[in-house]
Amino acid sequence: MDTKSLKLLRSVCILSFLLGSCFLYQSLHVVVAAQEQQDTQPSVTLQVNASNVAGRLIPDTLFGIFFEEINHAGAGGLWAELVSNRGFEAGGQNTPSNIWPWSIVGDQSSIYVVTDRSSPFERNKIALRMDVICDSSGCPSGGVGVYNPGYWGMNIEEGKKYKVAFYVRSSDDIDLSVSLTSSDGTLTLASEKFIASTSDVSKWTKKEVMLEAKGTDHAARLQLTTTKKGSLWIDQVSAMPVDTYKGHGFRNDLYQMMADIKPRFIRFPGGCFVEGEWLSNAFRWKETVGPWEERPGHFGDVWKYWTDDGLGHFEFFQLAEDIGAAPIWVFNNGISHNDEVETASIMPFVQEALDGIEFARGDANSTWGSVRASMGRQEPFELKYVAIGNEDCGKTYYRGNYIVFYDAIKKAYPDIKIISNCDGSSSPLDHPADYYDFHIYTSASSLFSMYHQFDGTSRKGPKAFVSEYAVTGKDAGTGSLLAALAEAAFLIGLEKNSDIVEMASYAPLFVNTNDRRWNPDAIVFNSSHLYGTPSYWVQRFFAESSGSTLLSSELKGNSSSLVASVISWKNSSQDYIRIKAVNFGDNSVNLKVLVTGLDPNVMKVSGSKRTVLTSTNVMDENSFTQPEKVVPQESLLEMAEEDFTVVLPPHSFSSFDLLKESAKIRKPVSDSSYQKTSTM
């Protein structure tokens, strides 16, 4: 090797050394800086006694859901019926009447449409008459008739099937096209002809057609058109997707979002929907059973929209059974927002409640059990809980009415647990009850501070049912991270007080974005898409809490912005400890976890999973364009021993699953319980 080569090699070595030293310095500087940053974060200790002996069982029923017909949660939502105002009853019983949202295909020179009282159904007498003035030579090529856009557009998807049913009568021969079309009617997605002679349709006749879509349109419509001159009557038009949950009529994606919460109960059908602004518009269960075409429907005057009541008393019990949740039926107690029935006259309402229980629980040969049986259900449904009214405690006749209901129900069904509207958390009730109802809607800071709400509540007497809670107002927006964090802290408080609080549910559950009557809500949807708000994802963190064991735990240090709880829970094959912690503050916190109470000769814990709900801004929300902007993020939790330290990000809700295992067996764990359910 010559002199020049040696000099070049030496220069390269020197340069490499200098660069390596610089890189090493930078790396060490980053590590030290990160360590210094971690050391400056507030430090709090969570002491956990992992002994189940020192723990307390959490009620099996602690966390569930509350379904109210609000925001088109059922009509135009969970109930998959695509036609809105299917019986033409929404315009009222006086004719002629408004047929909205139905509209005419054609113009006044070709068709005349009017309602009359000629329906074959006694409880809903309105039908639609179409007088077709044009004929095959004068009608538009596509025909004339009527169309229904559903609830802000029907979600029609290529390759899927839709069952269309309707009643028809005519004094002439019929040549009717039943079609699913694009939103403007220019593109046909599916169509079938219905041809009949006068003798076949001189009396009301039910017809059914199956349509298979040849294209997709999320804002489609149903059309009934003809080019044949004459008069015909139409009533009770239905279009249902064939693909619903178990064929029970529930929209699959919305059902799955509910099921993923793993609710242990479902409270239904309201809410204010049960009361009505006036009793004449209250939900009355007897009007919602039997064949769908015989149900009259009603105007929900609290939330200001018509429901055909396809989602009725029977369907709610079916939903509870499908989802594996205990039904909690809320019935009207003779009180609305504006009028009341005096206690001396309340017995008809009491009998209506007893009949509703018999419908669910009665033998198939009983009066109302036989109605259930006629709907295809011979065996009774489970019903162990009923609520007498909703938010009526302060009304003049509530207590008097309540006692009459209570005595009658306990006499006929002594095992049923009865829920009072009156709050017993701060002072004893002045009447008998198994549970008292507690509702809270407030700001984020207030709800966070209510973590201690039930700490001082008497453990004697009835249990608490927190059936409606949420952060509302400017803190909530249409579903913010800030609201969700406060709710998470409140739920941890309920979990730690689950010796007195036995049930809790968020409200409202659903909102169709086309008709927001309340903000915020847990699940947002339109005809074809959906997403969960941060408040929805908070509920998923508590999916394993009901029926688990609350472990003894204590926070030590400056923990004014922290709330935490610890449970022991099992899946089919493994045991876990789950630590949940809310950091409501602006700074990260080092949380040192000390786990004691495990037998070191038998058991040890190892890291399994870390799940964190947070975002860059506390007012961040999810949306149809960003459905997963604020959702739980999972990662592997590594820990070498029972004592470990984790960092809680500012404004975050975190959970840490620790696997309890034999000292001789170490298994990797996979859990997909937080799999995203948003669809776009």
43-57+549-660 and 64-76+253-547 share one CATH topology? Answer: no
Kindly report the CATH number that applies to the domain delimited by 43-57+549-660: 2.60.40.1180
**What residues in the chain have per-residue pLDDT under 50?**
1, 3-4, 6, 8-9, 12-40, 664-672, 677-680
Q: 190, 212 in Cβ contact below 8 A?
A: yes
For residue 670, the model assigns a pLDDT of 46
* Phi and psi torsions of 58, nearest 5°: -90, 140
Out of 1.10.3210.10, 3.40.630.30, 3.40.50.620, 2.60.120.260, the CATH code matching 103-241 is: 2.60.120.260
Superfamily of segment(s) 64-76+253-547: Glycosidases (3.20.20.80)
- Separation of alpha carbons 389 and 217, rounded Å: 42
What's the pTM value of the predicted model, to 2 decimals?
0.91
Q: Let me know: does 620 contact 480? Beta carbons within 8 Å.
A: yes
3-class secondary structure, 284? coil
Q: In whole angstroms, what is the distance from residue 78 CA to residue 254 CA?
A: 6
Pairing of strands 552-556, 530-532: unpaired
Residue 271, preceding bond cis, omega within 30 degrees?
A: yes
Query: What tens digit of pLDDT does each residue of 163-176 get?
Result: 999 999 999 999 99
CA 528 and chain centroid, separation: 16
Vertex 422: Cα angle to 417 and 426 (nearest 5): 110
- Report the alpha-carbon distance of residue 571 to residue 383 in Å, rounded: 27
Q: Where do the structural domains in the chain lie, given as residue ranges? A: 43-57+549-660, 64-76+253-547, 103-241
pLDDT tens profile 122-171: 999 999 999 999 987 888 988 999 999 999 999 999 999 999 999 999 99
Q: Which of 145, 148, 163 is nearest to 232 (CA)?
A: 145
